[in-house]
């Protein structure tokens, strides 16, 4: 019964049997009423024979008439006169009286089941109307056992016929369900199984063929889903291959740049004025290239270590970031730090340093790309639920294309040649703290990013 067709078969049998029971209940009541009416008719015929013969009926003939009618007594009321037409000795007292003249359906059903549940033979009185208007009423006394046996026989035949009908009906419905519903569903399941074995194979995408509207809708929805999934898997495979190649190139390039960085450090002390002026810029460029390679490799691991939370003085951290990005002294790009002294938050120092470094570096590069001066502002504060950090700049703002995939690697680059790794890494590190990184504003006057770090789990 764990299959759809098996359960449908069981339900069909159950509901057909229920329908037959609902038919059986009134039919058994009607059979009992018909049985008693038939006794009344036979008793009426016997009574009329007695009245027609008047005193010619002998006791033996009267006994035969009563036996043929299967009753003990017959009372006929004609012209307001109640007359005992036929009579014989009653073996036991009358136990109950049933008046068929005013009996309703519920009363007939109740009396029928009471008769079925009574195994003892009782003498009952039955009252009804004579046929052909042969009087006002007719009253008989009779045994209940023969009526009960006839009802049991009739009920048994009805139940057997009901069971036979339910089994035959269920069998044909089972075949119909197998053909019209189960087989199409099994076909869909087989398609799903075949597709799961090789989802990259477009030939395994299901082709809707069902004539059942609901199943066809399911097949069309599955076809759309499989088509989209197959395309996505192909794209992901290409991106995975590209990512592996980029990681290998970044690894080797980092080693090359590290060697170049060592040589650049040596030429910083050159006596040549031109070399001395160019050396810091060369060292800075190489350092940024090395940092980019390391960021690419770190992102390629697809995971970041869990943050180690400890108390951090945010003002000190912001100053360290500004100094590391070369914004601590005089220059075309200034870094303004407006963090209240003593503001302490719980975070991983190294990871939060990387987040702020990425944001500040992006802001500085955006301002430098314009060829003019500008400023970067780091401010912070707290509420009862969270700490917030704002990093804003006076750069040109983010282009529309960059905003669509701002925190996605290799897609959200805000400048020409950018990879978008910085913001993707920053967003991932902030999520690791249970917080969120969001773009608060970007327009011609600049860009603002907001970092929200919860003070407790679930408050972000």
Domains (ranges, CATH) in the chain?
A: 4-168 (no CATH), 305-454 (3.30.565.10)
Residue-wise pLDDT tens digits, 118-132? 888 999 999 988 887
Retrieve residue 429's tokens.
Answer: 């590190």
| Coil, helix or strand at residue 1 | coil
Whether residue 303 has pLDDT greater than 90: no
Place of tokens 């805000």: 414
**How are strands ordered across the β-sheet holding 374-382?**
333-338, 374-382, 386-393, 446-454, 436-443
pLDDT at 284: 67
Place of tokens 């969120």: 436
Residue-wise pLDDT tens digits, 133-173? 667 888 999 999 999 999 999 988 888 887 788 778 878 87
Whether residue 10 has pLDDT greater than 80: no
Query: Residue range 305-315: average pLDDT?
Result: 87
Instruction: Report DSSP letters for 191-227, one per residue.
Output: HHHHHHH-TT-GGGS-----SSHHHHHHHHHHHHHHH
Query: Residue range 93-100: average pLDDT?
Result: 90
Residue-wise pLDDT tens digits, 45-62? 888 887 777 666 677 888
């Amino acid at each position: 019964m764990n299959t759809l067709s098996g359960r449908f078969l069981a339900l069909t049998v159950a509901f057909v049997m229920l329908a037959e029971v609902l038919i059986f209940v009134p039919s058994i009541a009607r059979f009992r009423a018909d049985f008693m009416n038939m006794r009344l008719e036979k008793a009426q015929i016997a009574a009329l024979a007695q009245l027609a013969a008047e005193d010619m009926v002998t006791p033996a003939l009267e006994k035969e008439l009563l036996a043929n009618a299967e009753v003990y007594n017959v009372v006929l009321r004609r012209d307001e006169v109640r007359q005992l037409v036929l009579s014989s000795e009653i073996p036991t007292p009358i136990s109950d009286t049933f008046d068929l003249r005013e009996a309703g359906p519920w009363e007939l059903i109740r009396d029928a089941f009471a008769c079925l549940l009574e195994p003892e033979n009782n003498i009952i009185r039955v009252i009804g109307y004579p046929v052909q208007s042969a009087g006002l009423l007719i009253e008989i006394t009779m045994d209940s056992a023969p009526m009960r046996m006839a009802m049991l026989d009739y009920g048994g035949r009805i139940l057997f016929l009901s069971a036979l009908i339910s089994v035959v009906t269920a069998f044909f419905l089972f075949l119909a369900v197998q053909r019209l519903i189960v087989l199409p569903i099994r076909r869909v399941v087989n398609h799903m199984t075949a597709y799961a074995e090789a989802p990259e194979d477009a030939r395994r995408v299901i082709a809707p063929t069902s004539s059942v509207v609901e199943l066809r809708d399911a097949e069309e929805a599955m076809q759309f889903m499989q088509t989209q999934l197959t395309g996505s898997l192909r794209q992901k495979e290409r991106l995975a291959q590209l990512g592996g190649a980029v990681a290998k190139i970044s690894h080797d390039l980092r080693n090359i740049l590290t060697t170049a960085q060592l040589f650049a450090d040596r030429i910083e002390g050159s006596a040549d004025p031109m070399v001395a002026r160019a050396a810091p810029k060369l060292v800075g460029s190489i350092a940024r290239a090395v940092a980019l390679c390391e960021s690419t490799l770190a992102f390629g691991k697809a995971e970041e270590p869990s943050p180690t939370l400890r108390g951090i003085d945010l003002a000190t951290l912001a100053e360290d970031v500004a100094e590391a990005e070369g914004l601590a002294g005089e220059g075309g790009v200034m870094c303004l730090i407006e963090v209240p002294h003593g503001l302490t938050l719980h975070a991983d120092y190294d990871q939060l340093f990387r987040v702020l470094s990425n944001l500040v570096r992006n802001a500085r590069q955006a301002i430098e790309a314009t060829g003019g001066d500008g400023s970067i502002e780091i401010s912070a504060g707290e509420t009862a639920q969270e700490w917030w950090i704002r990093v804003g700049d006076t750069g040109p703002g983010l282009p529309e294309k960059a905003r669509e995939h701002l925190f996605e690697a290799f897609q959200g680059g805000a400048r020409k040649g950018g990879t978008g790794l910085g913001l993707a890494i920053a967003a991932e590190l902030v999520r690791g703290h249970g917080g969120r990184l969001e773009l608060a504003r970007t327009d011609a006057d600049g860009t603002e990013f907001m970092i929200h770090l919860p003070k407790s789990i679930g408050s972000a």
